[in-house]
Structure 1
Amino acid sequence: MPLRVTFVAAARSSSLLAERFEDARPLDQAGWDEALRAAHDLVPLAASELRYCSPTPRSRATGDALGYAPLVQLALRDCAMGRWRGLTLGEAMAREPQAVDAWLADPRSTPHGGESLLAFISRVGGWLDTRPVEDGCTVVAVAEPSVIRAALVYALKAPPSTFWNIDVRPLSATTVSGRGGRWHLRCDGIPAQPLRA
């Protein structure tokens, strides 16, 4: 059996707050409540042999709320955004429109002085490729949505521009299975509920 890595997206801090680059906000009460509501479906992942999380306060708190007691992995940190850290995309666009356009168009660009999208995807993919390869080993990793998008682009060997087309919802679970360099997206759906007349 191949290694199975399930990524769980961190709960959001608040639906009222805009997403920010390298967001270091803690999980607020709304996020805790959201995690507790999702726990029924996600708690079984606590049985995974290895449990990890991104270093963000929100990822750590989500993992704790779900009973994972995850180990922080620095390789699962968000993309380093340099001087745009803490800004929303709109704020960065208002300050440096040409730089944002260049960054969105070229996965190798670093107009913000941080990490390129390509380097970010490679870093997260490197983490994925260095997981233990024991047959049937299961791993759960709570991470920011951007980290999960980077892992999926890497696992599927998709063009870096695909990163912008993947939507990862808070507290969603996404599984890849395989071994270093040979990953497959695994879609485990929740059985459909019968329609009532």
Structure 2
Amino acid sequence: MALRVTFVAAARSSPLLAERFDDDRPLDQAGWDEVQHIAPGLLPLAAADLRYCSPTPRSRATGDALGYAPLVQLALRDCDMGRWRGLTLGEAMAREPQAVDAWLTDPRGTPHGGESLLTFISRVGGWLDTRPLEDGCRVVAVAEPSVIRAALVYALKAPPSTYWNIDVRPLSAVTVTGRGGRWNLCLDGLPAQASRA
């Protein structure tokens, strides 16, 4: 019995360098335009048996714009960044350079007073492992790029440091197949419409 979980990265709400920790801003106009452009390729995922999303405004808006009508899942929330919430990486680095260095190198570290990378990966992995299992069941989850990176690290049983080497772009999709504790990365591509974005 195998489950198929496709993660779709939320559309953007700001330029990459302006991304903020625990960003709760809605989609900007560029994000809406991207959704409209790529939607034809992602619309078939609306036929999934179960449809979920992160609780962020942009994840919910992306899922709704794609016709998924997703159910919010708190376990798919972004990493709790404690006192760095709302800051860009550059702003956190300017305020606490040693703390940021410690956070980037120690997956158990919580210099910001929030959640460790390891705890975050485990939380997202726990969500993945507890999806209802029916043979051939298809799930779609619209989530923040950080959540998708955590899910991939967990699914591949990769070292936590791998998290920093995964690039998840807005409105990209990736699928894992399997069941609790046994996941495979599935690179079967997107429909032609979506791949042109």
Mapped partners of 2:191, 2:24: distance in 1 = 35
2:12 corresponding residue in structure 1: 12
Number of aligned pairs?
192
Matching of residue 128 in structure 1 with residue 145 in structure 2? no
Mapped partners of 1:175, 1:135: distance in 2 = 16
Q: Which entry has the higher C-alpha Rg, 1 or 2?
A: 1
Determine if contact 2:41/2:190 at 8 Å carries over to the other structure: no
Per-residue CA deviations over 1:58-92 (Å, capped at 9, x if unaligned) read 00000000000000000000000000000011100
Mapped partners of 2:124, 2:29: distance in 1 = 29
Mapped partners of 1:189, 1:116: distance in 2 = 32
1:44/1:101 CA distance change after superposition, 3 Å: same
- What secondary structure sits across from 1:37 in the alignment? helix
Percent identity of equivalent pairs: 86
Mapped partners of 2:146, 2:67: distance in 1 = 23
1:157/1:18 CA distance change after superposition, 3 Å: same
Per-residue CA deviations over 1:151-183 (Å, capped at 9, x if unaligned) read 000000000000000000100000000000000
Task: Report the residue type matching 1:126 in the other structure.
Answer: G
Per-residue CA deviations over 1:27-86 (Å, capped at 9, x if unaligned) read 122211110111111000000000000000000000000000000000000000000000
Mapped partners of 2:96, 2:162: distance in 1 = 23
Deviation at 1:191, TM superposition (A): 7.7
Mapped partners of 1:137, 1:178: distance in 2 = 10
Determine if contact 2:22/2:85 at 8 Å carries over to the other structure: yes
Mapped partners of 1:66, 1:189: distance in 2 = 18
For residues 36-47 of structure 1, the aligned pairs below 5 Å read 36-47=36-47
**What TM-score, normalized to structure 1?**
0.95
Determine if contact 2:41/2:191 at 8 Å carries over to the other structure: no
The answer for unaligned runs of 5 or more in structure 2 is 193-197
1:78 corresponding residue in structure 2: 78
Q: Which runs of 4+ in 1 moved over 4 A?
A: none
- What secondary structure sits across from 1:59 in the alignment? helix
1:108 corresponding residue in structure 2: 108
